[in-house]
Chains A and B, each alone.
Chain A
Amino acid sequence: MNDYDNIWLHRLKWTYLLLVVLTLMTPVMYVMYVSFNQNGFGANEYVFTWEWYGLIFSDELLIGALRWTLMLAVVVTVITVPMALLAAKYYKAADNKLFPVFLLLAPLFVPPDILGSALLVFFKNLNFALIWLGDQIGTSLFDSWFRLSFLTATIGLIIYTIPYSFVVILITMGRYRKEQTEAARACGANGWRAFWDIEFPQIRAGVFSACAFTVILVFNEYTRTSLLKGGFDTFTTVLISQMLNTGMSPQSYAMSAMVSFVAIAVIGSIILFTMIRAESLSRTARAKAEPVMS
């Protein structure tokens, strides 16, 4: 049966799909709703206010945490995305694809707490081993390489985000035809030029989405960051420790809502941007296809 034979069934399925998305978003939207209430959660009266958001931005601790979070997000993105790109190129040309793909996608299947604790113990042992090694050869050069710090948190988050970047980039690469690189090489371009001038412009969308993904994932991540970070706090670790210790305060509603707003704004603007771009591209394509009137 064709779907359009029974338009109501088709509409029903669409309604179901949107209902599921709505259900998934309900908790978040409810938190946003509560975050603007002067009286907080469960109050009989709803009074709109910005007060709780004001409190966030006057909180030194939170601003510091926000700074750390952004720094972590930027550093992880700058490393992860080029690595995922290299890995995708390697995967495309590799004869044995099973090993690289297993290695790069396996972190998806390892739950956060398990990955976090395994890396935590690994880094601590590595640190002790390096200190011992330093003692043997009489240097303190290696002493703090793998002490829990920004570096260890970065490594943990790279492991966490690389599968997503890898998949996103690989999907966009699927549309690229290798012959174009061969043509460029035949014209005398070196490997880098062929990549940068011919291939990159065509996979740029994927690379940028991978960047956005990575930033959002790092911004949102709690478990791995909190296990592997050194003596600093990120936005989510502050938020969660507040929630676990004192329960949900109006301010924590505002913080959660704000994190969600940021994520939705980023992903929303990407969707908008790609739509507008696709529209303008098709317009130029149409214009080029039009016969020249003279």
Chain B
Amino acid sequence: MADLSSSAGGAVPAGTDKTPWRERLAPWAFRAPLIFMVAFFAIPMAMTVVFSVFERTMFWMEPGFTLFSYENFFFSARLTNFLNSMKYSLISVAICFVFGFPIAVFVRKSIPEVAQHRVVLLFILPFMVSEIIRVFALRPVLQRNGLVNTTLMDLGIIDEPITALLYTHTGVVIGEVLSFLPFIVFSGFLAMEAVPKYIFEVCDDLGVGPWRRFVDVILPLAAPGIFAGSVFIFVNGLGVALLPNILGGAGAVNAGLIATQAITALDFPLAMAVSAIMMATLTTLLWIGHKLFDLTKILTPLS
């Protein structure tokens, strides 16, 4: 930006209109993406709060002030469902962390630097297949006569097919883990940038065991990245409607599903209230994380 704005305005005395319009326009071109994001992302997200207190009409909404949608959310089964989905989302975060984070540590610690990015690229591969298709594809895998059950029965490990794998909360958790695990690997990989390789040697020299090394050294250093990855998984577990819709059974309803169901039922203020609640949850989480770990640290390798 510095090189651009200096050409745009710096050399020319203020007040003279000699600068060609192209050069005066240039700095604004660099702000265009931000203006776009404010207009079509920040404002619409903020407006959810305003629209959520509008009055519901037959097919749409009209300006007004009512807390009916919030009442509708907080004093019904929706709240229970929402809190339940929080619980299962937290379980998914924990599982993703346990399975995914060691991979990030392993890649950073034991793989030569030139090859690290290629190994991480392996985890982009599943992510590049449409999430919807991966989630749908779990149905034939987890079904009563699906891949998992037939394999287990062929191997003689079980006699009866396990039916708890699909159309249950377990199914949703499996779906969440398989959809979001790559993200903990990516964010863990970025987070491990804050853990220099010599730390491992220092720990060895000082005779620190792997567990203490992990808890006392790696975890505090990589905390911002781990937190960002976890928030990502948590919020998506709450917000991706297709997971409970496709894999869940009765009672598996998350915020995303409540919002889309409200839209289908033409209850737009309710959908906006759910969105506003989700945005509040997300902002609170990120704010707490920022206060605790200073999330801008994650971006140090980028700037």
Interface residues of A (CB under 8 A from B): 1, 3, 10, 13, 16-17, 20-21, 23-28, 30-31, 34, 41-42, 83-84, 86-87, 89-94, 97-98, 100-101, 103-104, 106-115, 117-122, 124-125, 155, 158-159, 162, 167, 170-171, 174, 178, 181-182, 185, 190-191, 194, 216, 219-223, 227, 236, 239-240, 243, 248, 256, 259-260, 263-264, 266-267, 271
Contacts and interface: CB of A to CB of B under 8 A. Distances in A.
Contacts of B278: 110-111, 114
B43 interface: yes
Contacts of B47: 118, 121-122, 125
A100 B7 contact: no
Contacts of B33: 83-84, 86-87, 90, 104, 162
Contact of A92 (B5, B41, B303): B303
B236 interface: yes
Nearest to A220: B130
Closest 4 A/B residue pairs (Cβ): A111-B239, A93-B1, A220-B130, A27-B137
Contacts of B131: 220, 222
B94 interface: no
Interface in B129-162: 129-134, 136-141, 145, 147
A31 B178 contact: no
A218 B45 CA distance: 21
A89 B132 contact: no
Interface stretch (B9-17, B69-77, B217-225, B268-276): B268-276
Interface string B179-200: 0011000000000000000000
B19 interface: no
B130 A259 contact: yes
Contacts of B44: 118-119, 122
A93 B240 contact: no
Q: What bracket does the count of chain B residues touching chain A fall in?
A: 35 or more
A97 B296 contact: yes
A24 B126 contact: yes
B106 A17 contact: yes
A111 B263 contact: no
A220 B271 CA distance: 24
A112 B240 contact: yes
7 contacts: A25-B125, A27-B178, A89-B1, A117-B274, A121-B61, A178-B3, A248-B140
Contact of B232 (A16, A109, A119, A264): A109
B139 to A, nearest CB: 7
A248 B129 contact: no
A113 B48 contact: no
A264 B128 contact: yes
Q: Which of A13, A16, A259 has the most CB of B within 10 A?
A: A13
A264 B43 contact: no
B3 A167 contact: no
Contact of A90 (B3, B31, B231, B232): B31
B21 interface: no
A259 B129 contact: yes
Query: Which applies to chain A's interface (DSSP): helix, strand, loop or mixed?
Result: helix
A236 B130 contact: yes
Contacts of A182: 3
Given A3-B109, A28-B129, 14 more contacts: A10-B110, A23-B178, A25-B129, A27-B140, A28-B134, A31-B137, A34-B140, A42-B140, A83-B36, A111-B235, A122-B47, A222-B130, A263-B130, A267-B125
A98 B296 CA distance: 7
Given A86-B33, A104-B37, A236-B132, A185 B45 contact: no
Nearest to A31: B137
Nearest to A217: B128
B34 A264 contact: no
Nearest to A160: B41
B104 to A, nearest CB: 10
Nearest to B42: A103
Interface string B24-44: 001001111110111011111
Contact of A113 (B32, B139, B141, B240): B240
A126 to B, nearest CB: 9
A122 B52 CA distance: 11
A107 B38 CA distance: 12
Contact of B1 (A90, A159, A223): A90
A17 B239 contact: no
B60 A170 contact: no
A30 B255 contact: no
B38 A191 contact: no
A124 B128 contact: no
Given A31-B140, A107-B41, A248-B139, A191 B130 contact: no
A253 B235 CA distance: 30
Contacts of B232: 108-109
Contacts of B303: 91-92, 97
B132 A111 contact: no
Contact of A119 (B40, B119, B181): B40
B164 interface: no
B61 to A, nearest CB: 8
Given A28-B133, A120-B263, A13 B106 contact: yes
A260 B140 CA distance: 16
